C-alpha cells in the first residue's frame, strides 16, 4: 500500500487551492486548505510538523471579520508565515519543505523567501517548472524514485 502524504495549501484563491487539492487527492494524499493568515497562525509547531509539505502563496487574506467577509490579501502575509516557521519555530527545510507559488514576481521578495530555504515559482510564468518540482517533491517524500510509479 502506498504511503499517503499530508500537504497544506495556504492560498486565498479558491482556483489555486482547488487545483492543488485535486492533484493531491487524486493520488490519495490528504490536503489541508488554509485561506487566511489568521487561520495559519492557529497552527502550532507540532501541528505544522504533522504535514509533509507546505505550498504557500505570498499574498494571503490577512483575517476574517465577524461575518464571512475576508479582509484583502496582505502582500507580506506569506513571508510572515515562512519567517514564523523557519525563524520563530525553527522548522528546517528537511523537516518541512515549503514551496512558494505566487503571482508576485519581485526579485527582493523571491530573494527573501529563498533565504528562508523556500523554493519559489511564479504562477503563470513558472507553472511547468512548479509542477515538475511539485511532482519531484512528492516522489522524494514518498521515498520512491521508481519510474512510472504513481505519486
pLDDT in tens, 49-80: 999 999 999 988 876 554 555 445 556 889 99
pLDDT digits (tens, 9 = 90+) for 70-114: 445 556 889 999 999 999 999 999 999 999 999 999 999 999 999
Cβ-proximal residues to 85 (8 Å cutoff; 6+ apart), any chain = 48, 54, 91, 96, 98
CB-count burial class (<10 Å; 0-12, 13-18, 19+) for 51: middle
Pairing between β-strand 53-56 and β-strand 60-61 as defined by DSSP bridges: unpaired
All structural domains of the chain, each given as residue ranges with its CATH number in brackets, are 6-142 (3.40.50.2300)
Give the integer Cα–Cα distance in Å for 149 and 10: 27
pLDDT digits (tens, 9 = 90+) for 14-29: 899 999 999 899 989 9
List helix spans (H) across 27-116: 37-41, 45-49, 77-83, 107-115
Give the integer Cα–Cα distance in Å for 30 and 8: 8
Give the model's pLDDT for residue 76: 82
Joined together, the cell numbers standing for residue 7 give 500537504
- List, in sequence order, every beta strand (DSSP E) within 11-148: 30-34, 53-56, 60-61, 73-74, 98-102, 119-122
Q: How far is CA 72 from CA 39, 55, 111, in A?
A: 14, 20, 24
Q: Answer for the pair 149, 118: CB distance below 8 angstroms, yes or no.
A: no
Give the model's pLDDT for residue 75: 61
Amino acid at each position: 500500500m502506498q504511503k499517503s502524504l499530508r500537504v497544506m495549501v495556504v492560498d486565498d484563491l479558491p482556483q489555486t487551492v482547488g487545483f492543488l487539492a485535486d492533484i493531491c487527492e487524486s493520488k490519495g494524499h490528504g490536503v489541508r486548505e488554509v485561506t487566511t493568515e489568521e487561520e495559519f497562525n492557529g497552527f502550532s509547531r507540532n501541528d505544522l510538523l504533522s504535514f509533509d509539505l507546505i505550498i504557500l502563496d505570498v499574498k494571503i487574506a490577512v483575517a476574517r471579520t465577524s461575518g464571512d467577509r475576508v479582509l484583502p490579501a496582505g502582500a507580506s502575509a506569506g513571508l510572515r508565515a515562512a519567517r514564523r516557521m523557519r525563524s520563530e519555530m525553527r522548522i528546517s527545510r528537511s523537516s518541512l519543505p515549503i514551496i512558494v507559488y505566487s503571482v508576485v514576481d519581485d526579485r527582493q521578495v523571491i530573494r527573501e523567501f529563498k533565504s528562508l530555504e523556500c523554493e519559489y515559482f511564479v504562477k503563470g510564468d513558472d507553472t511547468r517548472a512548479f509542477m515538475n518540482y511539485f511532482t519531484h517533491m512528492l516522489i522524494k517524500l514518498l521515498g520512491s524514485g521508481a519510474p512510472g510509479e504513481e505519486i
